[in-house]
Chain A
Amino acid sequence: MVKEYRTIEEVAGPLMLVKKVEGVKYDELGEIELPDGSIRRCRVLEVNGSNVLVQLFESSAGINLANSKVRFLGHGVELGVSRDMLGRVFNGMGEVIDGGARLLPEKSLNINGNPMNPAARIYPDEFIQTGVSTIDGLNTLVRGQKLPIFSGSGLPHANLGAQIARQARVKGSDDNFAVVFAAIGITYEEADFFISDFKKTGAIDRTVLFVNLASDPAIERITTPRMALTCAEYLAFECNMHVLVIMTDITNYAEALREVSAARKEVPGRRGYPGYLYTDLATMYERAGRKTGSEGSVTMIPILTMPEDDKTHPIPDLTGYITEGQIILSREMYRKGYMPPVDVLPSLSRLKDKGIGEGKTREDHSGVMNQLFSSYARGKEAKELMVVLGEDALTPLDRLYARFADEFEAKYINQGFYENRTIEQTLDIGWELLKILPRSEMKRIKPKILDKYWSES
């Protein structure tokens, strides 16, 4: 028999204090029944003697200290999972909201998951072709990686996210990824863009959507990504699917976390975010990966908007410390009209080295990649110098580099959101551009590779 308590003592912001409870556990899920019969949910944040401090997932409006009842359910927040989730839409608490039939869950899983044993991970090294040159060629994505997109307000990160979801393939196979999409506090329009794109391409049938819109309760944003990840882990590790998780926007998530932390009067870390923001983000991001005993994989692309385009803001900063690289979007490229506007130099994929090369992409991949990076960096430096001193001040070689940088942006970075390039096309464009420079500058490419590819075409 579940006990009911009418001992709500305090409600303030997203927090509520309930007195004189018994047997309530840390992190347990609770239900609040309002006088009108409606039900709200809450989670235990602290047990202190016979008092418990709970966090409300929905608004506190209408909660009445005298007449509302609280009961605790004896388990944490859970998500009922099944294969039939594909093609369905859920809210941030895991309830069906597409008007369809209720789901018959195969099992219920705690949304916090269990940490993965590092000794049981399989190192991600299988190349994913996204069809985007700046990712495939320079910041290669592999299966089981977590690679965020750092964007700014007004930049087309949604288009890039949708493009990746649409085009992602493992090389040499036609298998599509199952997509788990978590909308965290984004606007209706943005969510609708993704959903209609998934519908248009037919991807919706292999997509699970978890939607918490800007108008939905902010605190629910704390559970939304965990619901999505629990679903993704189930599909990947128990149904052996390859799952691509797209979560947007992590900034809204961190803000919800800050709201709870501020309400608890915790000592803040930088910019008011709680000191445990790193750990909290890590417990989400680290759920990407592959593990022994399962064929499937969880590949994660979190999207976040950097406040003021500032990469050192705690949210992008701590994300960058956990994820395996980052794709950074640049306002400068966007203004030039180059799509997707990827800022190549600070972007990075940490796992690329083991996912490229012979047998995975092509033997020349790593050489071309390094050469493009260092040549583009030098080209940009030359262009900066040119702005200050004029073209005449450059040596003839630096002038070539400046030209290379321009062409690189126009041809390599710029491809539009609907062009799907194979990795070979991407590499060939790279070679073509490098030929603007003299061969003696190709210091990053091994002589053997250079001999083979420099003369061709």
Chain B
Amino acid sequence: MTQVETHTSPEVGGMGHSVKRKEDPRFIRGKGEYIEDVVLPGMLWLDIVRSPYAHARIKSIDASAALAIPGVLAVITGKDLEKAGLHWMPTLAGDKQMVLPVDEVMYQSQEVAAVVATSRYLAADGVAAVEVDYEPLPVVVDPFKALEPGAPVLRPDRGPDKATNHIWHWESGDKKAADAALARAEVTVAEDIYIPRIHVASIETCGAIADWDPVREHLTLHMTSQAPHAIRTVLALVSGLPEHKIRVKTHDIGGGFGGKVPVYPGYVLAVVASLTTGKPVKWIEDRSENLQADSFARDYHIHAELGATKDGKITGLRVKTVADHGYTDAAADPSKFPAGLFNVITGSYDFPDAFVEVDGVYTNKPPGGVAYRCSFRVTEAVHAIERMVDILAHELGQDPAELRLKNFIRPEQFPYKTPTGWEYDSGNYPAALRKAMEIIGYEELRREQAEKRARGELMGIGISSFTEIVGAGPSHTFDILGIKMFDSCEIRVHPTGKVLARIGVQTQGQGHETTFAQIIAEELGFPVSDIAIEYGDTDTAPYGLGTYASRSTPVAGAATAVAARKVRDKARKIAAHLLEASEDDLEWTNGKFFVKGSPDRAKTIQEIAFAAYTNHPQGMEAGLEAVDYYDPPNLTFPFGSYICVVDIDKGTGQVKVRRFVAVDDCGNIINPMIVDGQIHGGLTMGLAPALYESITYDELGNNLAGTFMDYLLPTAVETPHWETDKTVTPSPHHPIGAKGVGESATVGAPPAIANAVVDALWHLGVRNIDIPITPWKVWQILHEKGVSASPPGSRT
């Protein structure tokens, strides 16, 4: 295992130390404070009536039986909200979404009415008693059928000039050049690849407590949000409440993964209910509501074509994609990127010409999509290019590793400009792949595979050499609803040398209380144990855009380092005053300033902190604090190479992941243990869609994965042993050379697994299997190819 460099003692615990997580004592003792733990005096409960139909007209809503239940205080309908103009709200993608419908419901389990009661149980009883009369309407489930002439137009509210289910068209790259490259390519391969709809399925569902104080005219919104500041601003703009009279507070969050970025109707309904009753109102989703109604991820129908020379040098890529967005585009993408950063689809490979186009489409499904631990649409991009590269290698009869090594962007080509316009900051792709091949014993595995194939056994080896794109983002290009995607940190050093730092990003389990303290420890020499990190309270934390798309370390981490350096600059002035020396004559090392050539004439950072309040130079402001709002000059580009070995059971179609080696490069590492944890979690979340998870709908638009019985999350039983290692290629533009790691493994793992399965079956004529690769799919293929070991006469 590669060791990580450190510059501080283990006691200080700066970058590179595997400091134990400061948040874990409360988590492992069950002492975390999640939204459900928060109980306010006089609090009411809210529950939601949901539509059984995927598309229907609401003929009437009769709340009389519900209101007759003692303890049921109010039933809120779309018509009630319409009076206040609150029945629609904006989505983060600039579309609009119903808070509650007035005329039509657009997906199964959509919110139809809200019941407010004195207990959770009475609220549920009230929901069961609300009678809604529906007239079913034709349902549009398939995005391709949604685009056909004559398909029911799902969003007539967009006006007569937009009488179509087509939302937007987005493209990137040079079409003419890509067309020409493919036309003259000696070899072309083409494939349809579907990345199914999946759900983040956080163990903590979404919830909120809205607490309107009618006397102070002040709203506190306790909620599960990955982006509390953005929520506050949107709430102020939509509701008309002054922004300084709104406080958003997040508490501990039990998993976000992108699913807690959007604004869900339940949050708004809790606010309306609190404004109406003048009491705190709590809303917590149950599991099925979470799986059926919250924003989904993925759902991209991709057609990709790759051109190459006969000896396997890639020359061009053309991609056409249909993106199913449900009934509204509620993707949490930056404004200028309706398909996220999908055009990173040229991947880790050096070729001149590419063209990518995506069309967004409305269907009768829940809105989305969220970037489920994948930056913005990077999972879809990486899956497509890594599958295509494997298909090309097999088609040419070349080894997939050799073909990758032949086409990688070489280390000396960085910074590398891609044909779709990104500038990759740094990378060493051959080193990562070679390291993974060495760890797993690639050559030996290929020999074993050949022997097994000769015996009729099915074994496959799959590679994924992905490039991530994270850290949104530079303000010239990146905003959400107009708010630039900077992030922030404010550091206050107390007189006794203890530190309080507040950050603009949220934590949903990443360990920010530890890693952000380590950045400050690295820069200022205070021990991690002396540094408290706060976040998630908009009254105290500096403004920031929140935690998603692996942006915490690249953006807020940079802000933290820069703020710490500002503190150090002031500390230098104080030290010069205390040491009666010129600032230029001071040197900084190990948490102290000393006079050059006289290491004994030194002041520790703690001594300087005390002096900042007790003996600061005349004319200088007292105190020792700084704030930084960091606007990154570029994104960061973590990368890695994963190799997966699978064995396929010819009787059952079961795919067993025998080995999985992940070599990641996330630039400089803050905490190796936490990075490993992120990768282990990410690999498991990559295994999930590769083999298990998928949200499907029947022809009536019923969600067929509305419980954890039908939506299979891998547990320890399904999860193989992960073997991890790393290379370290710092980001040249990031203050601490870090790139971020939160999503690399989720992005990189699925194609490694899919490639391994197809590798095992290619000789039988199998070119592609869409994920999730379930035993049923494989079993059918084995039967079709006549190699199944299941008993004759088995049902196909």
Asked if A pairs with B, the answer is: no
Q: Which residues of B contact A (CB under 8 A)?
A: none
